[in-house]
Amino acid sequence: MEEPMDEQSAEETSVKQPQNSEGDQKPAERKKLPSLLRPVVIVPSAVMGAISMEEYEMQYWPKLENAIVQLLTQTPGDYIPISYEQMYSCVYKCVCQQHSERMYNDLMSLVIGHLQRVSQELKSSPPDAYVERFNFAMTQYMQALGGIAPIFNYMNRFYVSSKLNTDLKEELQKLFTLHVAEQHISTLFPMLQEAQNRPFAVSPPTMANIIKTLHSLKPDLAPQYPDLFARFIPNVLPQVSADDLPRIVEETRRWQQELLEREGFGRGETSRKRSGDELQTKPTPLSFMPKNSC
């Protein structure tokens, strides 16, 4: 009669069993591998806690919204203390937790609301301050984009560019064109054209900034106002041919004549005396003559 094997003998027998092929081991032996050799699967939620929609709405988006509002309303040339590292971290976490679409829509809605208010304020501006206020609003918004785009750079790379096939800064520029620029073209450009005939009615830096920025946002405005854009944007007018020379000469002569008539100068006038002034002459004594001359 055979005696039953004890636990030690059974363990030795299992170890001495032949292998199926070179390098293969039984399932029972694979369980005994050291923990350092076992494969480790890293789950994103184990590294970064999951962000619920409620947490996004109550904790993350309010921080971003506050920073965006400050950037949109700061005075051009001023810079407010915003922790870009903290804002970038909020965007990074929200993108990793699949909140990209919601965050993008929230950003667009916030900016659209701001631009609509700006447009309404411009419509109520007095004519003598309208051009300067339009320039201020446009400069303010363009400066704000320089801060908003870096904050949402991670969302731009992994959502806007990859899924929407566009660029965040370009989309924000289109919002200004749609909600502000196009709403005021019919009012702004007649004022700019009129200012051309009145020297310094609009300061040259203001005029140049408006024309150059609007040309970058909406280039199709140049053919509608070629003379205005040609003063600040090269190669706006079509190329001149020999047949155009008589027309250009006539236009130049007409502009010169209008300038002379408007400023009150005449071609033949060389005197700098004011009208109505008369030269007051005094008799000059002949002191060089001898007193007792015959």
Please give the chain's pLDDT, 294 residues, in tens.
444 445 444 444 444 444 554 445 444 445 554 544 455 444 444 445 688 999 999 999 999 999 999 999 999 888 778 888 999 999 999 999 999 999 999 999 999 999 999 999 999 999 999 999 999 999 999 999 999 999 999 999 999 999 999 999 999 999 999 999 999 999 999 999 988 877 778 888 999 999 999 999 999 999 899 888 988 888 877 777 777 778 778 878 887 877 777 655 555 555 555 545 544 555 555 554 555 554
Q: How far apart are the first and last CA of the chain?
A: 181
pLDDT at 256: 80
Cα(170)–Cα(28) distance, integer angstroms:
61
SS3 labels along 30-65: HCCCCHHHCCCCCCHHHHCCCCCHHHHHHHHHHHHH
For residue 292, what are its two tokens? Answer: 């007792």
The three-class DSSP label of residue 7 is helix
Measured CA to CA in angstroms, residue 14 lies from 7, 17, 25, 200 at distances of 11, 5, 12, 100
pLDDT at 177: 97
pLDDT at 32: 53
Q: What is the CA radius of gyration of the chain?
A: 39
Measured CA to CA in angstroms, residue 174 lies from 115, 161, 178, 179 at distances of 11, 16, 6, 9
For residue 284, what are its two tokens? Answer: 């000059």
pLDDT at 254: 80
pLDDT at 47: 45
For residue 15, what are its two tokens? Answer: 């170890």
Measured CA to CA in angstroms, residue 96 lies from 5, 64, 164, 224, 232 at distances of 57, 16, 17, 46, 45
Cα(64)–Cα(186) distance, integer angstroms:
35
Q: Which of 108, 135, 113, 140 is nearest to 122 (CA)?
A: 135
| Total residue count of the chain as it appears in this document | 294
pLDDT at 268: 55
Using alpha carbons only, give the angle 125, 128, 132 rounded to the nearest 5 degrees.
75
The three-class DSSP label of residue 3 is coil
pTM score over 0.85: no
